[in-house]
C-alpha cells in the first residue's frame, strides 16, 4: 500500500507489459507481398538476415511476383537464359532488354537472283552456320547464299517437272514436291547446278501405275527431315494424299510404312523424333512417329471447309494451337487425352495471322519461369496480342496488346500486311520495309524503331514484308521483302576465340572449298594411320610375334626346328674337318723339316770346314762340293737372308739365344740350329 501527501492510501498499479511483435510475426504470404516489391538484386543480402527471411526468399512465388512487378511477366513465362537460378535469369533479362533497346544497330542489305518478285513461299535460315535459302513455289526456283552478307549466291532454276503440284518442302540439301497425279519427286540441291543437267540430282520417290484404270489421288502434304539419316535408311520423308493416306519414305525412295487415317486433312507436321500431328476438318490426330501407330484422335470443335487462319504445333510440350477468325484454342496432349484452352478476341475484330515463338528444346519445368512459350495473334486492326500457351488457365487471356498503328504518324491502309516475330524477351512488328518497331514481349513497352531498308533495292517503291525472323542467340535477325533481304544486329557480335596455332583453312565462306579441305585432312589422317598399322604388322610378322594365319605359324616353327638340327650336324662335321686338317698339316711340316734339316747340316759343315782351314778346301770334299754347287748357292742366299733377319730380331730384343762363331767357339746342338732355321723361315713366310 502507498500513501500520498494528503494521507490517502492506494495500491500501486503494475505497468502492463505488451507482447513484442516484429516483422517476423507476419504471415509468410504478407512477407512475400512485401519482398516482391523489392528488386531481385536485394534478395541476396536479405537472405542473410535470418532463417525465416531466407526461407521466404527461397520460395519461387516471391521471385515470380518480383519478376512480375519488374518485367510484367506472369507466374509462367519464357526464359531468356534457360537457367534454374533466378538471379542469373534476372541479369540476363536486363542485359537482353538493354541490348535490344539501346545497343548500336548495324544492317546489311542484299538482293537475291531468283527471277521472282514478291512470290516467295518458303524461307530457311541458319544463323549458326550463316546460311539463307529462298524457294519460290510457283516455279520451283531455289536461291541460297550466306545469311549475313549475301555472298556466294547460288541459283537453281525451275524444273519442268515442277508443275501441277499441291505440296512441297525444302531443306538445305533436298527439295521434295508432290504432284496432283500422285507422283513424288526428290531433288538433291547439293548436286544441282544452274548450267548442268538436273537428271542426276532428281529421284522419283513415288511412281504412278499407268496401266491401272483408277486415277491416283493427289499428294496434298510433303514433309522433309531437317537432319536426314546419312545412311538413307530411316524415315526422312512423310507424305499424305487427299484421302488421309500417310506414307513414310527413305531418301532412296523406299516405302518403309504407311497408315490410312480415312480423313481428308489439310495440315500435317512432325519433328521426325516422336510425334506426327494431323489436323483435318473435324479431328486432331496424333501418330507415333517410331511405330507408325495411331495414338489419339480428338474432335477440335470446328467444321472447317477451308484451311484455318493459323495452325502451330509445340512439340516441346505437345500443344496444338488453332486460330479461327474470332477464337483461339490450345489443345494440350497429356496422359492419352487432350485438354482445351480457349480465348476469344475483342468484338468487331478478327484474327488474320498467328505466330509462335521458335523453340526446339523439350520443356523443362525446373527452368526459371516454368519454361513458358509465347504466342502472338495479329488482329484486323494491326494490333498484336501476346500470351503464354503453356500452363495457361482454363480461359485464355491476352495480358499484352500492342497497338502499333495507334500513333498518328503511322501509315494507314497497311494493317493487313502486318508481320510479327517474337522471342522470349521482345516482339518485332512490321508491315513495310521501312516501318518496323520493336516492343517488350511481356510488358508491351516500346523499345526502339527497327532498321530501315534502303529504297534503292526495291523495284516499285516500298515493298511489304514477307517474313521477320529472329536469331536463336543474340539480338539479330532478318527481314525479307520480295527479293531483298536485310540482316540486322544490335550490339557487337560475339566472336569465338580462335586457337593460337590453328591451321589456315580454305575460304570459310565457300562451302565446297571447306568440305574439300576437311575431306583432304581426313584422307591424310586415314592414310597415316594405315601406313603405321602396316608397318607394325610387317614388323610383328618378320619378328615372329604375329602371323597372318595358324598355318604360317606352323611352317615357321618347322623351319626353325630343321635349322637348329642342321646347325648341330654342321658343328660336329666342322670339328671332324678341323681335326683332319690339323693332322695333314703336321705331316706336311714333318716332311719339310727333314729335307731342310739335311740341307742345313750340310751347309753348316761346309762353313765350319772353310773357317777352320782358312778358306782351303779339303780334297775329299772337292767332289761333293762341286756336286752341290747349285743347291749351295741357293742355300747361301737363303741363309744370308735368315741371318740378317735374325740380327734384326736380336737388336729388337726378340732373339731367344746367341750363336757365337770363332776359332775357339763351338756350335750349339744340331736340334737348336734346326729350330732357329725353321723359326726364321716361318717368320719370313
Residues of the chain with CATH 1.20.1280: 21-71
- DSSP letters, 396-432, are ----EEE-TT-STTS-SS-GGG-EEEE-SSEEEEEEE
Among the listed ranges 137-146, 189-198, 423-432, 478-487, which one has the minimum average pLDDT value? 189-198
Provide the CATH topology of domain 21-71.
Monooxygenase (1.20.1280)
pLDDT, tens digit (0-9, with 9 covering 90-100), for 510-556: 666 677 778 778 877 888 888 888 877 776 666 655 566 666 766 76
pLDDT, tens digit (0-9, with 9 covering 90-100), for 217-251: 899 999 999 999 888 889 999 999 999 999 999 99
pLDDT exceeds cutoff 90 at 194: no
Angle CA 32–33–36, to nearest 5: 80
Q: In this predicted structure, what is the pLDDT of residue 491?
A: 86
Mean pLDDT, residues 37-52 taken together: 81
pLDDT, tens digit (0-9, with 9 covering 90-100), for 483-505: 888 999 998 876 655 555 544 44
Average pLDDT, the chain: 78
d(CA 60, CA 65) in angstroms, rounded, equals: 9
> Which has more pLDDT, 459 or 474?
474
- DSSP letters, 98-150, are HHHHHSPEEEEEEE--SS-SS---EEEEETTTTEEEEE-TTT--EEEE-TTT-
pLDDT exceeds cutoff 50 at 662: no
CA dihedral 597, 603, 605, 608 (to 10 degrees): -140
Q: Where does the pLDDT of residue 169 fall: very low under 50, low under 70, confident under 90, or very high at 90 and above?
A: very high
> Which has more pLDDT, 582 or 132?
132
Give the pairing of strands 184-188 and 174-179: antiparallel
pLDDT exceeds cutoff 90 at 618: no
Q: In this predicted structure, what is the pLDDT of residue 319?
A: 94
pLDDT exceeds cutoff 90 at 286: yes
pLDDT, tens digit (0-9, with 9 covering 90-100), for 636-658: 555 555 555 555 544 444 444 44
pLDDT exceeds cutoff 90 at 115: no
Q: Which of the 8 DSSP states describes residue 464?
A: B
Architecture of domain 164-307: 7 Propeller (2.130)
Residues of the chain with CATH 2.130.10.10: 164-307
Percent residues over pLDDT 90 in the chain: 30
Q: In this predicted structure, what is the pLDDT of residue 619?
A: 40
pLDDT, tens digit (0-9, with 9 covering 90-100), for 170-192: 999 899 999 888 899 999 888 87
Q: Where does the pLDDT of residue 212 fall: very low under 50, low under 70, confident under 90, or very high at 90 and above?
A: low
Length of the chain: 685
Q: How many CB atoms lie within 10 A of CB 539?
A: 11
pLDDT, tens digit (0-9, with 9 covering 90-100), for 338-373: 889 999 998 889 999 999 998 888 999 999 989 999
Residue 418's closest CA among 351, 473, 345, 511? 351
Whole-model pTM: value is: 0.68
Is residue 97 within 8 A of residue 443, CB to CB? The reply is no
Q: Is 601 helix (H, G, I), strand (E, B) or coil?
A: helix
Amino acid at each position: 500500500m502507498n500513501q500520498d501527501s494528503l494521507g490517502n492510501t492506494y495500491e500501486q498499479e503494475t505497468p502492463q507489459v505488451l507482447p513484442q511483435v516484429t516483422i517476423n510475426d507476419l504471415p509468410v504470404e504478407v512477407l512475400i507481398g512485401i519482398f516482391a516489391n523489392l528488386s531481385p538484386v536485394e534478395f541476396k543480402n536479405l537472405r542473410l538476415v535470418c532463417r525465416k527471411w531466407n526461407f521466404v526468399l527461397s520460395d519461387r512465388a516471391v521471385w515470380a511476383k518480383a519478376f512480375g512487378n519488374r518485367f510484367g511477366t506472369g507466374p509462367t513465362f519464357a526464359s531468356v537464359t534457360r537457367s534454374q537460378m533466378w538471379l542469373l535469369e534476372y541479369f540476363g533479362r536486363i542485359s537482353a532488354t538493354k541490348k535490344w533497346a539501346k545497343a548500336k544497330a548495324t544492317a546489311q542489305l542484299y538482293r537475291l537472283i531468283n527471277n521472282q518478285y514478291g512470290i516467295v513461299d518458303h524461307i530457311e535460315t541458319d544463323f549458326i552456320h550463316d546460311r539463307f535459302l529462298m524457294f519460290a513455289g510457283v516455279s520451283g526456283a531455289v536461291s541460297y547464299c550466306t545469311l549475313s552478307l549475301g555472298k556466294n549466291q547460288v541459283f537453281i532454276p525451275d524444273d519442268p517437272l515442277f508443275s501441277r503440284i499441291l505440296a512441297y518442302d525444302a531443306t538445305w540439301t533436298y527439295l521434295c514436291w508432290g504432284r496432283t497425279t500422285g507422283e513424288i519427286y526428290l531433288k538433291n540441291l547439293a548436286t544441282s547446278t544452274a548450267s548442268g543437267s538436273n537428271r542426276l540430282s532428281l529421284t522419283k520417290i513415288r511412281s504412278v501405275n499407268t496401266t491401272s484404270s483408277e486415277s491416283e489421288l493427289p499428294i496434298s502434304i510433303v514433309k522433309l527431315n531437317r537432319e536426314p539419316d546419312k545412311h538413307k535408311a530411316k524415315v526422312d520423308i512423310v507424305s499424305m494424299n487427299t484421302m488421309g493416306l500417310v506414307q513414310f519414305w527413305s531418301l532412296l525412295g523406299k516405302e518403309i510404312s504407311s497408315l490410312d487415317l480415312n480423313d481428308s486433312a489439310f495440315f500435317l507436321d512432325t519433328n521426325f523424333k516422336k510425334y506426327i500431328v494431323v489436323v483435318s476438318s473435324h479431328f486432331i490426330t496424333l501418330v507415333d512417329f517410331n511405330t507408325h501407330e495411331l495414338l489419339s484422335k480428338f474432335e477440335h470443335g470446328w467444321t472447317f471447309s477451308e484451311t484455318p487462319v493459323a495452325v502451330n504445333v509445340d512439340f516441346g510440350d505437345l500443344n496444338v494451337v488453332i486460330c479461327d477468325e474470332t477464337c483461339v484454342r490450345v489443345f494440350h496432349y497429356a496422359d492419352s487425352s487432350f485438354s482445351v484452352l480457349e480465348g476469344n478476341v475483342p468484338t468487331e475484330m478478327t484474327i488474320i495471322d498467328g505466330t509462335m515463338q521458335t523453340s526446339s528444346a523439350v520443356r523443362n519445368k525446373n527452368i526459371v519461369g516454368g519454361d513458358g512459350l509465347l504466342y502472338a495473334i495479329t488482329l484486323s486492326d494491326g494490333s498484336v496480342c501476346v500470351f503464354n500457351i503453356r500452363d495457361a488457365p482454363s480461359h485464355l487471356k491476352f495480358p499484352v496488346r500492342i497497338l502499333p498503328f495507334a500513333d498518328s504518324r503511322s501509315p494507314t491502309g497497311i494493317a493487313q500486311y502486318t508481320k510479327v516475330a517474337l522471342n522470349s524477351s521482345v516482339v518485332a512488328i512490321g508491315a513495310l520495309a521501312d516501318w518496323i518497331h520493336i516492343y517488350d514481349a511481356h510488358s508491351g513497352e516500346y523499345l526502339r524503331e527497327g532498321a530501315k531498308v534502303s529504297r534503292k533495292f526495291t523495284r516499285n517503291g516500298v515493298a511489304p514484308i514477307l517474313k521477320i525472323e529472329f536469331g536463336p542467340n543474340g539480338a539479330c535477325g532478318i527481314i525479307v521483302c520480295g527479293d531483298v533481304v536485310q540482316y540486322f544486329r544490335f550490339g557487337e557480335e560475339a566472336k569465338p576465340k580462335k586457337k593460337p596455332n590453328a591451321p589456315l583453312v580454305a575460304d570459310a565462306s565457300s562451302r565446297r572449298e571447306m568440305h574439300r579441305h576437311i575431306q583432304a585432312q581426313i584422307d591424310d589422317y586415314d592414310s597415316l594411320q594405315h601406313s603405321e598399322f602396316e608397318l607394325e604388322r610387317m614388323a610383328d610378322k618378320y619378328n615372329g610375334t604375329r602371323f597372318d594365319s595358324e598355318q604360317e605359324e606352323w611352317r615357321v616353327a618347322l623351319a626353325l626346328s630343321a635349322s637348329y638340327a642342321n646347325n648341330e650336324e654342321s658343328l660336329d662335321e666342322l670339328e671332324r674337318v678341323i681335326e683332319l686338317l690339323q693332322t695333314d698339316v703336321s705331316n706336311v711340316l714333318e716332311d719339310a723339316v727333314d729335307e731342310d734339316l739335311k740341307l742345313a747340316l750340310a751347309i753348316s759343315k761346309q762353313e765350319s770346314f772353310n773357317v777352320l782351314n782358312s778358306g782351303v778346301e779339303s780334297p775329299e770334299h772337292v767332289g761333293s762340293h762341286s756336286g752341290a754347287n747349285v743347291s749351295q748357292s741357293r742355300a747361301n742366299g737363303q741363309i744370308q737372308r735368315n741371318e740378317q733377319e735374325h740380327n734384326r730380331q736380336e737388336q729388337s730384343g726378340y732373339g731367344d739365344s746367341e750363336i757365337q762363331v770363332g776359332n775357339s767357339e763351338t756350335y750349339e746342338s744340331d736340334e737348336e740350329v734346326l729350330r732357329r732355321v725353321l723359326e726364321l723361315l716361318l717368320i719370313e713366310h
